[in-house]
Amino acid sequence: MIKILGFILTIGAAIVLALGVFSVFGSVNMGNAQWPMIILGIVFFFAGIGLLKYRKDTDVIDAETNGS
């Protein structure tokens, strides 16, 4: 479950970050939302990568506690 959340955060943040960067360079018109999207994209991207990299999945935790 934790790995799925990390994957969703990473993919969603990459999309938001790409839209923000495209908006800064003029390819996409997003009005005044370009810099908040870049900042939130960076924050959620690193949060998702952190979840994928450093957290054990709930299935692994259950297997370790049950001794299987």
d(CA 63, CA 51): 19
* Cα–Cα distance measured from residue 39 to residue 66, given in angstroms and rounded to the nearest whole number: 41
Q: What percent of the chain has pLDDT over 90?
A: 44
Q: What is the pLDDT of residue 38?
A: 92
> What is the three-class DSSP state of 47?
helix
Tell me the C-alpha distance between 33 and 66, whole Å.
48
pLDDT tens per residue, range 28-43: 888 888 899 999 999 9
Structure tokens at 24: 């800064």
Mean pLDDT of 14-23: 92
